[in-house]
Each structure stands twice: as structure tokens, then as C-alpha cells.
Structure 1
Amino acid sequence: MAKLPASITPPDFYGIVEKGIYRSNILHPTNFSFLKTLSLKTVIVLSPEPPTRALSTLFDEAGIKVIHLGVQAWKPTLGWRPVSEELIKEGLEIILDVSYHPALIMCTSGLHETGILVGCLRKLQGWNFNSIVTEYRSFAGTKSRYVNEQFIELFDLDLVTLPMSLPQWFIRQQQLLREEEEELQNSLPQPDSHDSPRLLYLGGVPSRAASGPTTPRLFVKNAAGRKADKPKKSKTVEDSD
């Protein structure tokens, strides 16, 4: 792999999330030359702190739109949550809109707010939670926080309204997930029409993660769809005595 010239230095926690989406910590003057190579259209700042004057000037000169969600969605009382749900909801709706691409997700450390937003994107993509945590910790390392992982796990994806102009990679992933679900449903045994008890699959919704489908739960039902009753013990003369 060819080395970059000494004058072009990526940020410490720079990474490619998906085509047209990048992530990093706050940029320093040594990173400015590298930033220009990305031909960014949008920068999403997740930290409450505004970009430095030098960085703001660079964005203005390059014609890069800055969306400072860290201020817009910040709340003084978040309880146990490390960030607000509004911040993550709005961030996801922006980065999934191709009209903002190429886009850079940025926070002060490049680990916490950014890591949560990327983790929730992975959850929306159907990643296995273990894979999400692995990616988060690969950036955060010893600075990883359990509360961030907990937020990702509990984040309600129904809050997110998908934009009309979705990126092709996201559309393809959703198609693959639907095909996977259809294949699993078609592989399930069809119920017979006999009155004898039969096995009914419940909860066999395929996992949207890379690890495969969840294990179906089984219980016995009769052909009429009612749960089969346990045989009652017949009452004898001895029992009545």
C-alpha cells in the first residue's frame, strides 16, 4: 500500500463507514490537507462544542455544509443516556440521505457520540449486536463505555424516518434481508389439516444480523388453532373418598 505524503495526515480516529460516509475525531490543522482529498459535501458535528475558527474557515472555503447536531439536540438532563435519542435519530436521517454525501461524522473524541451513531446505523442495517460492539471497541479501545453500548442496544429504530433518497448500498442490504426472511418462511413446514396435534412455529422471525435466524419457539396446538389441553386425571371412587 502506497504511503501518503508527509503533508497529508489523516485524523487519529478516521474511518470509512460506508461509501460516501466517513468518521473522525475533531480535525486539527495537520489534517486539513487530508480533509480536502475527501471532497466532502457535509460535516455532521455531534459534540456540543463548536468547530474551531480555523476549521470553520476551512469548511467555508471548501463550500462544506456544517450541521451542528451537538448543539441542536443537546439536553441538560439525559438521565442515564450518554446522548439524546433526537441526536441519533436526526444523525441517521442525514447520513442515509445521499443528497448530503460525501459526509463526515465528527465529534471531539471521534469515539463516543460518533461511535453511538455508527453503532445505531449498524443496528438499522441488521448487524449482529456482537459485531456492532466489536466495531465500536475497535475504535474506542480502552476508552469504550458500557453505557454507549447499552444505548445502541436499546435504541428504538422506529424513531427513524428513512429519507426518500437512500444510498444504493443501503437499498441492496435491505433487499438481501427481505430475501433472507422469505427464504426462511418458505423453509418452514406447512401445517396439515388433520385433527391430531401439530407443531406450530412461533417467533421464527429471522435475525437481521449476520449470525443467522433466531431459533423458533415451539409448542403444541390442535388443528383448530387452540392450545392442546393437558389430559385431565379421571376422578375415581377412591379419589372422591
Structure 2
Amino acid sequence: MGDFNPVSNQPLVADASRDGKLKPVMPEPYNKKTSQSIEVASGRNSLTNNASRESPTCTGRLMLGRPTPTFHQPPINFSIVSEGLYRSGYPQTEDYPFIQGLKLKTIVTLVKKELPDGYQEFIQDNRITHRIFDMVGTKKEDIPIEMMRSIYAVVSNHDNYPLLIHCNQGRHRTGCVVGVLRKSSQWNVKRIIDEYTTFAEPKVREVDLKYLAGFELASLWYQPQAVASLGTVRRFYKFVIVVFLALLTFYPLSKFNVQEPRPRPL
């Protein structure tokens, strides 16, 4: 029998990363299709790990003239978030064939740095729209709400799917964005934290947990600039009314030159 997590009593599976460590499977999401998609991703990652471990055997089969199966390697921490939406760490050259099979329309990168060799050419050749957000590491500072609004507007728009969202390791920045998406899909906080932890281990950040637990969905649509502009207009009209009333109250009526009608000659 397989190993089990002593805390959640859930089976342990190979992580999507390349370290081969065992981690608990994510809690069952509300969407059945999402759950099935995650299982498919886990199966692909298991095939990848098996392929890397059996590389000497595959070489021997090739020498014997037998056909050798070809496995496309997914990026580190790759998984399916929902139908048409994927997450991972930063893709490397050896990951491009796997990514190409996803037939992506959009890639959202949550870190601004020099692109790996051939990444720009790969994106252009596959006609992928590349959106880069210069998000500072969550350990250094909070995610500005304006940035999260911009990212959410892209990753929640199904017109941009299939879409891959990634940062460096696919743990913290990506985990926070996916967590916000889960909140908008009515996941409860425990499920969101469990999913974040699954991908962030062994470097779970308390600042991220606090961010996800306290994030208010209303802040995604609340526009303080628009409210401020409306308030400015209201204050202006109030000022005009006050000035007008003051003039009526304090300006002497005697100053008004009212001419009495002249009597008509007989």
C-alpha cells in the first residue's frame, strides 16, 4: 500500500516538481472537472519522473532496436487549475515541447527578469500573447491591489484561455494569484490554504497565508480613484451652492438699484 499523510489521512503522490518528494494530494475542489484535470496532471508528472529514472533502460532498448517512448517534460510545479488554465514554475528549454502541446493562447509571467534561451522565440513561433507583471517577491512586500486587479483581469478572462500562469518556482506568487481565483470561485479559506501549502512546501510563507486568509474580493472591483473623482464633483457643487446662499444672505438689498415706474403724463 502507498504512504499516507498522518495529518489528513490522504494518500501521498509525487510532486509536480523535479525533486520527486511526496506531498499530499490537494483537497477535492468543488468542481468535479477541475478535480479530474488535477489527477491528469499528476499522472503526467508521474510519467515524467518514471521516464527520468528509466533513462539507462531506455538507452539499452534503443541499442537492441526496440522503439523508445518519448516523454515531454512539464515545467516544475506544473498542474491544472481549471479547464484551460494551468500553473507552473518558470519554463525552461526542455519544457517547451510539453508547453507546445497545451496550445496556449496566453502566458502570464509574474516576475520580470531576463528570459531563458529561446523563450521569446518559442512564444512568437506559437503566437502566444505574453503578459509580464513585475511582482516583487511576497516575502519582501505585500502585493499591490492595483497589480492583483490587473493580473486577475487577465487570468479570469476565458477569452485568454488556454493560459499558463507562472513565477520562478510556481509556489508563492503563483500560489497567491491562484488563491484569489479560488476565492472568486467560492472556495473556502481552508481549501485555498491547503492548495497553496501543497505547492509551496517546504517553504510555506506566513505572509502568503495571512494574505489569502484576509483577502477581500470586493477590493478587486472597488475603485478608490473613481470614488474620489465622484466625491470631488460633489464637493464642488456643494461649494457653489454655499457661495450662492452666502451672497443672497449677506449682500445688501439696498445695493440693488430698483427703478420705480414713472407716472404717465396726463
The TM tier, using the shorter chain, reads 0.5 to 0.7
Counterparts of 1:139-154 in structure 2, within 5 Å, are 139-154=199-214
Q: Is the 8 A contact 1:81 1:147 kept in 2?
A: no
Q: CA deviation at 1:83?
A: 2.5
Query: Is 1:26 the counterpart of 2:100 in the alignment?
Result: no
Give 2:126's aligned residue: 62
Query: Is 1:48 the counterpart of 2:112 in the alignment?
Result: yes
TM-score for the superposition, normalised by structure 2 = 0.54
Identity, in percent, stands at 27
Give 1:136's aligned residue: 196
Q: How far apart in 2 are the matches of 1:142 and 1:53?
A: 29
Q: Is the 8 A contact 1:9 1:34 kept in 2?
A: yes
Counterparts of 1:54-93 in structure 2, within 5 Å, are 54-70=118-134, 74=135, 81-93=141-153
Which among 155, 158, 161 is matched to residue 215 of structure 2? 155
- Aligned partner of 1:118: which letter? V
Q: CA deviation at 1:160?
A: 2.2
The DSSP-based 3-state class of the residue aligned with 1:48 is coil
| Unaligned ranges ≥5, structure 1 | 163-241
Q: Is the 8 A contact 2:76 2:90 kept in 1?
A: no
Q: CA deviation at 1:12?
A: 1.8
Q: How far apart in 1 are the matches of 2:187 and 2:133?
A: 25
1:69-108 CA distance string (max 9 Å, x none) = 12xxx479x9974422222221111111111010000101
* Higher radius of gyration, 1 or 2: 2
Give 1:126's aligned residue: 186
The DSSP-based 3-state class of the residue aligned with 1:143 is coil
Give 2:72's aligned residue: 8
Q: CA deviation at 1:127?
A: 1.1
Q: CA deviation at 1:144?
A: 1.1
The DSSP-based 3-state class of the residue aligned with 2:175 is helix
Q: CA deviation at 1:143?
A: 1.1
Q: How far apart in 1 are the matches of 2:127 and 2:118?
A: 14
Q: How far apart in 2 are the matches of 1:41 and 1:100?
A: 6
The DSSP-based 3-state class of the residue aligned with 2:194 is helix
Q: Is the 8 A contact 2:90 2:168 kept in 1?
A: yes
Q: Is the 8 A contact 2:193 2:209 kept in 1?
A: yes
TM-score for the superposition, normalised by structure 1 = 0.60
> Greater helix percent: which structure?
2
Q: How far apart in 2 are the matches of 1:80 and 1:27?
A: 24
**Structure 1 residues 12 and 90: CA distance shift in structure 2, 3 A:** same
The DSSP-based 3-state class of the residue aligned with 2:74 is coil
**Structure 1 residues 132 and 79: CA distance shift in structure 2, 3 A:** closer
1:45-84 CA distance string (max 9 Å, x none) = 11132432411111011100000012xxx479x9974422
Query: Is 1:94 the counterpart of 2:158 in the alignment?
Result: no
Q: Give the aligned length.
A: 158
- Aligned partner of 1:11: which letter? P
CA RMSD of aligned residues (A): 2.5
Which range moved further: 9-18 or 52-61? 52-61
